[in-house]
């Protein structure tokens, strides 16, 4: 049996403090141990597997995390409520650059020598202490946003059992011959002193200004002739070993008339250096291949002894789009440079020479004496000065371009050759693409374009990092590098080494040796650790300690049913997951994926703590509630992979336009039930059988409509959620709330209040209760707090025998999602009500145009449509049209001409102008000259039948013309048209109608005053009034219609002069039309 709880959920007041209410819900969930209870209730269901990408806890959660967390929570809640057991475990990235960079800043560590002095054990201990710095803040924010996930049984990449599974993954790759050691030019972070992978290098491009220099290289055999090369990295020039030209391009030898020097460069690049053709003279034209082998004088003396260097090479990678067509080659600082110099024997893979004169911090070494100790980027100015003084600088400028920066230290990356360990990715590109095609992505374009394109150009993955706080790569190697042992588990290492281990971080395994099996002494571990992306890419296996534990569980639930992260992970987690799962099992690691876009500041800039250009999420939670933020985010383009400019007013509008109307529908239900109890001594109890009976007898058309519309919604949401299209689901749910509150509730208020009959009142309340109960379950995954609140209030209206029947009833989130009932679907009535809504909206447009408020009834509303069956459907709902527009009479007709309605075609210049061009004037005249018959013919044309018409060879589409309707014969009518309907509203009112309007003016002011004073409908009150001046129309109406106003208000409406000494609740003077009324609401003495 379910236990009673101390949390009281009630409806009080015109509004709900959503932020405070959510705190009450959180307390309730804690009280009933909600998340754990939900898992207990679902333990025997089919499993739905979800992988949570691990964040670093060294930074605070931001809107990007809240967005991704909302998507994950929504989908996993939906999976739970559609009959699955969903394990949701939080994970943490603990190793790598984000942590080390923080420690380096704190301790002032500049490079490897500082760590060596401190000792790796001490350094790693510092890292360990800050890894979970913001874990509590993370848990608070995740909890506050209503996300249900298990922190108690989390995984951390620094747990030894997690690290051991990563070793297992690596050994599988090693045994498949997918691991090798290479000396490659790679992106290198000078801020973190380590190489990065190519996908890491692509994560943080920035526009930056770099020096561009044109440099001369005199030929050895002809010193007065100089090749001109161009570079934006002057710091690489001291390491120059060759020049490269395109063998198939045309080069020219020219005389620079200003400098009186002879230069060689690509013909197509002359305009880059010479703006005026008369400033040079072409002396000779030659192919690039003719330059091959020419020797030149080195720029600097540092490596002049290298005999194989300082000659011209040829390669197709030299383009005609930039520079001079002569590319300087520093083979240890450029990928193409390295390839070309290797191919042409300038350097040798085994014998060198290795010309890489910089240290781990990217400072020049003593090999480059003139710039020794200078950071390479900072040395640019000194190098340019040197070039100028040695008369080798031809020209210089500043170039603005997009350049990669380190994603962690935010320092510019350089490219340098370093020895690294790689996973062979290039050989599995076809398999990666094939496995990617098996997964379902939302939105699809990210899969087919962005991610697939990235996969096609995938490079071998550098997985080693020259760092300390990480998972050590488990390779033990002999001194000559010939014997290599890859260890796949802690137990294997213990057996091979004889050393007992509880932890496998560097400080514990670096000194562990393995005896050689071939007589080579001992094998020692290589110093590198894994790239932290290798660890997060291994999380499907490591989070369950596979294969050392949970082997069957893992195999039965792999691949994951669902993952979700931001679009930036196409080059991060999505990629590493796919590479590892393809290498291990040749299948995708996930079946379904939602990719969200980026949340930007309101001005379109990146959100920045330093700029403070976004509101604190905690303040948003406090002011509007987490549900409002959740709904704002997942109704935006960001769930389609696009960017969102975050605007606080968007969150506020969710509260105003969605939550308050939804809450007020609940409030109306509760107040109507209370009123029924006071007036009729009848206690309302929700009765599902009564619902089905009333639908079967079709007692009320609007009841049938809202119940049928609810079934249609249930079908739609299931269909779209099964396809992971949150961007179609949530707008439809919001539209449904609008339909419920602005149509069903507004058009049935008299029934709820019991003004029709008691039976009709009970039927309407039953329908409203059903709809709100269904909505609370349907909205549960999207707005978990408000859905829970609604459900808890509605529970009090359930039959006593079922309200506390089981543990499942303690929370809306323990229930399964309701399914649609075919017997409750009535498509004809849904179509008819949609038509009613159309014509009412059209009528309201006319009212606004003529400035006639809804309070004032009007004589007649005419609905014209050519289709008699549509008019017949509308006639069955005539009462709702009359009430919705506040008109006395509704007339239906197929004859537009009977009412003198004329049509006129007008051009829509924004679209027509682009299409017609110079013919727009002539086309406009012909459009305006169209007869009624011509226009009728246009309107009868189907959507897929081509253009409406062709005028002067210009196809005229629907968007190119506006059809304007006007009433020629009867001046009391105003017309408008839409979707095949023409409606006419008689906006003239006689004295009796105006009097009715004035009555509504009075009753409306009183109702507002009651709300202001927080007076409940069941409160016993008197309403007194006094009007000034007594000669005003409003004074006459108050006196003459006193009884009518009393009936409408349901409370005595009396002259102020007759008031007794009752306690005053509120008193206020209000201007109304041509007078001023003083209202006094008092407690009744009855």
Task: Report, as residue numbers or ranges, the catalytic residues.
Answer: 54, 93, 533, 569, 573, 606, 609
Distances from the Cα of 895 to the Cα of 790, 863, 899, 934, 985, angstroms:
48, 10, 7, 17, 16
DSSP secondary structure of 669-730: HHHHHHHHHHHH-------HHHHHHHHHTT--HHHHHHHHHHHHHHHHHHHHHHTT-HHHHH
Contact 570, 533 (CB under 8 A): no
Where are the extended beta strands (E) located within 93-130?
none
Burial class (CB in 10 A: 0-12, 13-18, 19+), 1049: middle
Peptide bond connecting 353 to the previous residue in cis, omega within 30 degrees of 0: yes
Closest by CA to 632, choosing from 22, 26, 70, is 70
What are the phi and psi torsion angles at 1064 (to 5°)? -80, 130
Number of H helices, E strands in the chain: 42, 40
Residue given tokens 């997951």 in the structure block: 577
| 985 within 8 A of 973, measured Cβ to Cβ | yes
Task: List, in sequence order, every residue forming a beta bridge with 887; answer none if it has no partner.
Answer: 858
Residue position matching structure tokens 């005249």? 925
Bridge partners (DSSP) of residue 565 are 595
CA–CA distance, 946 with 488 (Å, rounded to integer) = 67
User: Is-contact 986 859, C-beta < 8 A?
Assistant: yes
CA distance 91 to 73: 15
Return the structure tokens found at 417: 């050759």
d(CA 702, CA 628): 29
Please check whether residue 931 is in contact with residue 902, taking contact to mean a CB–CB distance below 8 angstroms: no
Q: What are phi and psi of 167, to 5 degrees?
A: -60, -40
Backbone angles phi, psi at 479, to 5 degrees: -60, -30
Q: Which strands sit side by side in the sheet containing 194-195, from one edge to the other?
A: 194-195, 179-189, 413-423, 461-462
Q: Give me the half-sphere count of Cα atoms (radius 13 Å) on the Cβ side of residue 467.
A: 31
- Determine which helix (DSSP H) or strand (DSSP E) holds 1023, and give its type and residue range: strand 1021-1028
Reported as half-sphere exposure (CB side, CA atoms, 13 A), residue 561 has a value of 21
Give the whole-angstrom CA distance, residue 54 versus residue 91: 5
């Amino acid at each position: 049996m379910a236990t009673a709880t101390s949390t009281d959920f009630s409806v009080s007041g015109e509004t709900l403090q959503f932020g405070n209410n959510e705190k009450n819900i959180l307390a309730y969930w804690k009280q009933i141990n909600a998340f754990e209870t939900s898992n207990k209730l679902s333990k025997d269901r089919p499993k739905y597997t979800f992988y949570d990408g691990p964040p670093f806890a060294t930074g605070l959660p931001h809107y990007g995390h809240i967005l991704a967390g909302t998507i994950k929570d929504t989908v996993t809640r939906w999976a739970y409520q559609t009959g699955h057991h969903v394990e949701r475990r939080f994970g943490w990235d603990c190793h790598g650059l984000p942590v080390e960079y923080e420690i380096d800043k704190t301790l002032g560590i500049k490079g490897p020598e500082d760590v060596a002095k401190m000792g790796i054990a001490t350094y790693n201990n510092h890292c360990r202490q800050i890894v979970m710095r913001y874990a509590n803040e993370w848990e608070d924010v995740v909890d506050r946003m209503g996300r249900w996930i298990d922190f108690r049984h989390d995984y951390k990449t620094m747990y030894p059992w997690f690290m051991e599974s990563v070793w297992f993954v690596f050994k599988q790759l090693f045994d498949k011959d997918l691991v090798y050691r290479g000396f490659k030019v790679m992106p290198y972070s000078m801020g973190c002193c380590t190489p990065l992978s190519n996908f890491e290098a692509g994560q943080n491009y920035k526009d930056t200004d770099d020096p561009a220099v044109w440099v001369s290289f005199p030929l050895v055999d002809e010193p007065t002739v100089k090749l001109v090369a161009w570079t934006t990295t002057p710091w690489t020039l001291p390491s120059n070993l060759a020049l490269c030209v395109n063998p198939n391009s045309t080069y020219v030898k020219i005389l620079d008339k200003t400098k009186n020097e002879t230069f060689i460069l690509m013909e197509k690049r002359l305009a880059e250096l010479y703006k005026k053709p008369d400033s040079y003279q072409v002396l000779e034209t030659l192919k690039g291949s003719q330059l091959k082998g020419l020797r030149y004088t080195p720029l600097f003396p540092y490596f002049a002894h290298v005999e194989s260097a300082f000659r011209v090479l040829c390669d197709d990678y030299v383009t005609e789009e930039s520079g001079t067509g002569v590319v300087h080659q520093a083979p240890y600082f450029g990928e193409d440079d390295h390839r070309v110099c290797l191919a042409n024997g300038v350097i040798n893979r085994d014998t060198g020479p290795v010309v890489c004169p910089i240290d781990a911090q990217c400072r020049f070494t003593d090999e480059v004496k003139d710039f020794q100790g200078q950071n390479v980027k900072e040395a640019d100015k000194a190098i340019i000065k040197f070039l100028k003084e040695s008369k080798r600088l031809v020209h210089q400028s500043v170039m603005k371009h997009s350049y990669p920066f380190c994603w962690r230290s935010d320092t510019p990356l350089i490219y340098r050759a370093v020895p690294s360990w790689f996973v062979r990715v290039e050989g599995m590109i076809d398999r990666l693409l094939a496995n990617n095609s098996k997964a379902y992505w939302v939105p699809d374009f990210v899969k087919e374009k962005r991610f697939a394109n990235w996969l096609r150009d995938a490079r071998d993955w550098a997985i080693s990092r020259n760092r300390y706080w990480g998972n050590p790569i488990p390779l033990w190697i002999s001194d000559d590098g010939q014997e290599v042992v890859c260890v796949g588990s802690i137990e294997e290492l213990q057996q091979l080494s004889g050393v007992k281990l509880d932890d496998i971080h560097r400080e514990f395994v670096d000194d562990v040796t393995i005896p050689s099996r071939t007589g080579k002494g001992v094998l020692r571990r290589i110093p590198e650790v894994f790239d932290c992306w290798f660890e997060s890419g291994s999380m499907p296996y490591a989070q369950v300690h596979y294969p050392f534990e949970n082997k069957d569980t893992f195999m039965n639930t792999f691949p994951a049913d669902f993952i979700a992260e931001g679009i930036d992970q196409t080059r991060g987690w999505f990629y590493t997951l796919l590479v590892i799962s393809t290498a291990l099992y040749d299948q995708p690691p996930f079946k379904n994926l939602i990719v969200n876009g980026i949340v930007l500041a309101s001005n379109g800039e990146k959100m920045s703590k330093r700029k403070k250009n976004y509101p604190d999420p905690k303040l948003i939670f406090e002011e509007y509630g987490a549900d409002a933020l959740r709904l704002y985010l997942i109704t935006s383009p960001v769930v389609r992979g696009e960017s969102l400019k975050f605007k606080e007013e968007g969150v506020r509008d969710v509260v105003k336009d969605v939550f308050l109307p939804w809450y007020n529908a609940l409030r109306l239900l509760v107040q109507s039930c209370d009123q029924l109890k006071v007036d009729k001594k009848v206690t309302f109890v929700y009765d599902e059988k009564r619902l089905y009976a009333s639908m079967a007898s079709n007692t009320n058309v609007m009841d049938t409509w809202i119940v049928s519309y609810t079934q249609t919604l249930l079908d739609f949401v299931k269909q779209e959620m099964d396809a992971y299209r949150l961007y179609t689901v949530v707008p439809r749910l919001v539209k449904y709330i609008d339909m419920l509150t602005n149509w069903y509730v507004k058009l049935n208020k008299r029934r709820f209040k019991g003004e029709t009959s008691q039976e009709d009142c009970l039927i309407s309340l039953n329908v409203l209760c059903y709809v709100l109960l269904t909505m609370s379950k349907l909205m549960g995954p999207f707005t978990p707090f408000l859905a829970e609140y609604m459900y808890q209030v509605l529970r009090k209206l359930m039959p006593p025998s079922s309200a506390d029947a089981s543990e499942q009833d303690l929370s809306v989130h323990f229930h399964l999602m309701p399914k649609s009932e075919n017997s409750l679907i009535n498509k004809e009535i849904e179509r008819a009500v949609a038509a009613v809504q159309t014509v009412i909206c059209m009528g309201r447009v006319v009212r606004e145009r003529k400035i006639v408020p809804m309070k004032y009834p009007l004589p007649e509303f005419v609905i014209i449509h050519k289709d008699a069956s549509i008019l017949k459907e509308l006639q069955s709902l005539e009462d709702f049209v009359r009430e919705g527009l506040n008109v006395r009479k509704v007339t239906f007709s197929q004859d537009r001409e009977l009412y003198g309605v004329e049509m006129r075609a007008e051009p829509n210049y924004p679209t027509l102008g682009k299409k017609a061009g110079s013919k727009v004037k002539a086309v406009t005249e012909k459009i305006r000259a169209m007869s009624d018959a011509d226009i009728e013919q246009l309107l009868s044309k189907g959507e897929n039948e081509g253009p409406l018409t062709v005028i002067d060879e210009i196809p005229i589409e629907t968007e190119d013309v506006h059809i304007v309707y006007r009433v020629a014969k009867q001046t009391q009518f105003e017309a408008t048209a839409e979707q095949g309907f023409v409606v006419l509203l008689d906006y003239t009112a006689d004295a009796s109608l105006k009097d009715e309007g004035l009555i509504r003016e009075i009753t409306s002011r009183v109702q507002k005053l009651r709300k202001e004073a927080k007076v409940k409908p069941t409160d016993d009150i008197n309403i007194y009034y006094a009007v000034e001046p007594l000669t005003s129309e409003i004074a006459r109406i108050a006196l003459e219609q006193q009884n009518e106003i009393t009936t409408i208000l349901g409370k005595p409406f009396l002259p102020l002069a007759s008031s007794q000494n009752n306690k005053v609740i509120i008193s206020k003077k209000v201007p109304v039309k041509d007078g001023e009324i003083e209202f006094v609401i008092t407690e009744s003495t009855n």
